Amino acid sequence: MKPVKKTQTRQDARQTKTSGGNFVDKLHAYRALHAHALFSSLGRLVASRFTSIMTITVLAIAISLSSGFYILVANLQQLTGNLETSNQISLFLKDDVSDAKANRLANSIRKKANVQEIKLITKAQALAEFQAYSGFGAAVKALEKNPLPIVIQVLPKNTLEDRQELENLLEKFNQEPEVDFAQMDMQWVKRLQSLMDIARRGSMLLSLLLGVGVLFITGNTIRLELHNRREEVIIAKLVGATNAFIRRPFLYGGFWIGFFSGVTAWFIVTVMMLILMQSVEKLSELYEGAFHLLFLGFTETLAMLFISSLLGVLGSWIVVNHQLQQLKPE
């Protein structure tokens, strides 16, 4: 009896070797395991539709908030970016200065060596422009007289980069008797830019916070699923499953949640941008068409999907690892 037993076990050992030891077979089996985990976790997500939709919606809102802020800041930055190049100075003339006087002043400024270009905006022009674009047309009509001053926009020569020279020029303009006050547009651009910087940092911080939120919401969802499949996990452990084997479907589950949240967030942001587009185009006219609404680009969309998927995987990884340490088969 004994020798028979021995050959039997040896045969078994050989069989295990050929089926388990062949590299190509192993690779196929490994790929099959991954494919199975990928699709079974998707199937599970579909099977518990209601819960999945709730979770994904919450995550999508968080992601769309941060990417919405990102795109908002990017759009505003585009605005300040356009203004950045100009050293333009605006001269607001006194109310009693006539158009003819203004013209004379404009001509004298034009002749200055360090001035590249000037533009005179008369009271009537300013009013027309204001009525057309500001949305206060009716209110302005109700006024008895035109409250807008004559403006001369002066663009200094590009060589005039030196800040001190610009200040000197500004000072000279301020001393002209017709000028109420001269203002360097640059100044409010600078202020705007530092405001933009705050907004940019703020949106980054917000994204960070929301990212952590996404991480933990995914983690919690996966924790619940792990809890529901506790029995299965324990049985798998008892028949020799490694932690990697148990972790795999949950990681894919986290991936799907993150990925679908990213896709949903893209839709939310895009729909919101489409709704905003009309009013933004009006605004763009005010800026003489220099402004075009930026949507989430290809790279940004890709980055958003990547980050949200990564957060999903990471969230479930943290939770599953933590739970596997606590989960002992009993």
Partner 1 sequence: MLKFENVSKRYPDAGDVLLNVSFHLKHGEMAFVTGHSGAGKSTLLKLIAVIERCSRGQIWLDGQNLNQAKDRQIPYLRRKIGLIFQDYKLLQDRTVFDNVALPLVIAGYGHQEISRRVRASLDKVGLLGKEKKYPVALSGGEQQRVGIARAVVNKPPMILADEPTGNLDPELSAEIMLLFEQFQQVGVTVLIASHDIALITKMNRRVLKLDHGQLVAS
Cα–Cα distance, 250 to 223 (Å, whole number): 9
Binder to partner 1 among 239, 288, 289, 326 (CB under 8 A)?
Answer: 239
Residue whose CB is less far from partner 1, 20 or 202: 20
Binder to partner 1 among 49, 141, 145, 328 (CB under 8 A)?
Answer: 328
Binder to partner 1 among 96, 144, 231, 288 (CB under 8 A)?
Answer: 231
Q: What are phi and psi of 115, to 5 degrees?
A: -110, 130
Residue whose CB is less far from partner 1, 107 or 242: 242
Binder to partner 1 among 29, 132, 198, 271 (CB under 8 A)?
Answer: 29
- The residue count for binding partner 1 (CB under 8 A) is 33
Q: How far is the CB of 256 from partner 1 (least distance, A)?
A: 20
32 counts as binding partner 1 under rule CB under 8 A: yes
Check if the beta carbon of residue 45 is closer than 8 Å to that of residue 257. Answer: yes
Residue whose CB is less far from partner 1, 169 or 225: 225
236 counts as binding partner 1 under rule CB under 8 A: yes
Tell me the window of 110-118, 228-236, 284-292, 300-308 that interacts with partner 1 (CB under 8 A).
228-236
Phi-psi region of 264 (alpha: psi -120 to 50; beta: other; left: phi over 0): alpha
Per-residue tokens: 209: 């916070």
Question: Which residues are CB-neighbours of 88 under 8 A, at least 6 positions away?
Answer: 153, 154, 155, 184, 185, 186
End-to-end CA, the chain: 37
In what side-by-side order are the strands of the sheet with 115-121? Answer: 115-121, 151-156, 89-93, 179-184
From residue 192, alpha-carbon distances to 39, 287, 314 in Å are 50, 15, 38
25 counts as binding partner 1 under rule CB under 8 A: yes
141 counts as binding partner 1 under rule CB under 8 A: no
Residue whose CB is less far from partner 1, 42 or 79: 42
Buried/exposed 251-275: b ≥16 CB within 10 Å, e otherwise: bbbbbbbbbbbbbbbbebbeeebee
Binding site for partner 1 (CB under 8 A): 2, 5-6, 8-9, 12, 15-16, 19-20, 25-26, 28-30, 32-33, 231-232, 234-243, 245, 328-330
